[in-house]
Amino acid sequence: MVAFSIRDLNIWFGAVHALSNLTMDIPAKEILSVIGPSNSGKTTFLRMLNRLNELNVNFRMSGAVDMGGKDIRKMETELVRKKVGMVFALPLPLPLSIFENVAYGVRIHGVKNRNKLEVSVERALRQAYLWEEVKDRLELSAFKLSGGQQQRLCIARTLAVEPEVILFDEPCSGLDPVSTAKVEEAMMKLKTDYTIVLVTNNVKQAARVGDKTAFFLSGKLVELDKTDTVFTVPRDKRTDDYIRGKFG
Amino acid sequence: MRNPRRTQKIAFFLLFLATLFIVVPVGLIVIIIIQKGLPAVNWQFLSDVPRQGMRAGGIFPAIIGTVYLVTGAIIFALPIGVLAAIYLNEYAGDNFLTRIIKLAIVNLAGVPSVVYGLFGLALFVVFFRFGASIIAGSFTLGIMTLPIIITTSREALESVPYSFREVSRSLGASKWQTIRYIVLPNALSGILTGTILGLGRAAGETAPILFTVAAFYLPRLPHSVFEQTMALPYHLYVISTQVPNVDEKVRYGTALVLLALVLFMNLVAIVIRFKFRKKKKW
């Protein structure tokens, strides 16, 4: 099963060529880890999948990204973003209560019934392993939670709109090792139902959770293979250098 | 030989002196007005119409007239100002035309109020044939306040972090939903404070209402928005310069009431800002 099929994708921001000639498939219901040094285009790649790059006025592209056989550029933007959720690098709760943070996306997509909202919120919080910690204080401001809890809240918020794909953009970059482990545990459970793309600066994290791993360098895909293969017998010397920490 | 500690002391002293030069006159103005005006302020002064050619009685019609004018200005200017600020800040691209528009709005805030008065006379009183009326005066005051409302609203909208918008859009919210549910609620306190401060200024202006609404002597309440009304700033001007032998305490009493009205509006603005800041969570 293929979730995304990308053909000859080029992306520019003004004069900067951020991604060049990218052709790849993203398998469904697996975790794809994306590694590479800064400015390698991995976040641009991630933000292409839910069309978030288009918020930048200088964005230009060529080529095609198909999801389930349909060109995402021809689908309604809001629908693409509903199907392809995103968790950002920093925990970014909205200035609302815990409950309203999770309910926000559900409300946006038209659910008004309080009971239905409560069911969605509880299910999403359980999926993100946060329910037990917050069930008695749902009306509290989301900013009262710890960093790790906030990030799991953001995962729950993304899950609540029932996406098919979840994009993680360095989700653990601001978290301590214990919180990181909790987020990774959630990701491992989620891959049975969701396609996951994880951009990470932490090579070990990519090795721990990724079924497949892609290595980007200077806007180009260098290597994409099973994680074991990439980390034991990489085909490209530059991949080898990067995962051994020789540059980047 | 330069002594850095002494240089610092001199600098602090000069800075303190500059601050003193601002505080002392303001304090003196307030104290003198209270001292000379307070004896005149009583229930009759606040609730009665002017009598004996404005030398006795009260200033009730002028108070009510100013309240009407300010209310009318809010109703007219707040929606237009906020909507324009949303458009300029959230929708309009950054190009030559929008930069000219933004520059023009900033410059409008510096146009002398008497020019707004003439503009109101030409447009509302003469062209739209409202005559000298509450509606013409309100619109003129509203237009004068618009640049302040737009500028402060844009600042308030800008202060909402970009990441909130990005999160909202990433969940599939449209641009308008994001503005409606995330940006506006968090910018509201700034917008309201700016509006009230702008209107506080407008409430005390004489020139814009001089040609558009203010009645020299109309010892009753207006019956409709198409009638003239008395207003505090103009009434103060009239009894200070146009009517002979008005008791000094009546003039200062009127000034005190006007000052209290404006300070009250500023106080409301401060309370709103304080309340929202306590609620602000990021």
Tens-place pLDDT, residues B249-260 = 899 999 999 999
- Tell me the chain A residues in contact with residue B169 when contact means C-beta distances shorter than 8 Å: 52, 55, 81
Q: How many Å apart are CA B249 and CA B36, to the nearest integer?
A: 6
Are B171 and A95 within 8 A, CB to CB? no
**Chain B residues within 8 A of A85 when measuring between CB atoms:** 170-171
Query: What is the rounded distance in angstroms from the CA atom of residue A116 to the CA atom of residue B14?
Result: 65
Q: What's at B78, amino acid-wise?
A: L
Out of B167, B174, B177, the one facing A88 most closely (by C-beta) is: B167
> What's the angle, vertex CA A52, arms to CA A49 and CA A58, rounded to 5?
115
Range of the domain at A67: 2-243
Q: pLDDT digit string (tens) for A229-246?
A: 999 999 999 999 998 887
User: Which domains occur in chain B, in start order?
Assistant: 59-279 (1.10.3720.10)
pLDDT (0 to 100) of residue A43 = 93
Q: In this complex, which of A79, A108, A143 lies closest to B171 when CB atoms are compared?
A: A108
Read off the pTM.
Answer: 0.84
> What are the residues whose beta carbons fall under 8 Å from the beta carbon of B258, sequence distance 6 or more?
B66, B203, B204, B232, B233, B236
Task: Report yes or no on A6 lying in a domain.
Answer: yes
Q: Any chain B CB within 8 A of the CB of A51? A: no
Contact across the interface for B172 and A143, Cβ inside 8 Å: no
pLDDT at position B221 is 87
Question: What is the maximum alpha-carbon separation in chain A?
Answer: 56
Asked if A205 and A227 touch (Cβ cutoff 8 Å), the reply is no
β partners of residue B51? B56
In a domain, A164, yes or no: yes
A59: closest CA of chain B, how far (Å):
14
- The per-residue pLDDT for B54 is 82
Position A22 in a domain? yes
Domain of A136: which CATH number?
Answer: 3.40.50.300
Confidence of residue B79 (pLDDT cuts 50, 70, 90): very high
From CA A68, how far away is CA A121, in angstroms rounded?
27
Q: Which of A81, A95, A154 sits opposite B172 (nearest CB)?
A: A81
Residue A248 placed within a domain? no
Evaluate whether A2 touches A68 at the Cβ level (below 8 Å): no
- Which of A55, A79, A104 is facing B171, going by the closest CB pair? A104
What's the confidence (pLDDT) of residue A119?
95
Whether residue A127 contacts residue A193, with contact meaning beta carbons closer than 8 Å, is answered with no
Domain total in chain A: 1
With beta carbons under 8 A apart, name residues in chain A contacting B94. Answer: 57
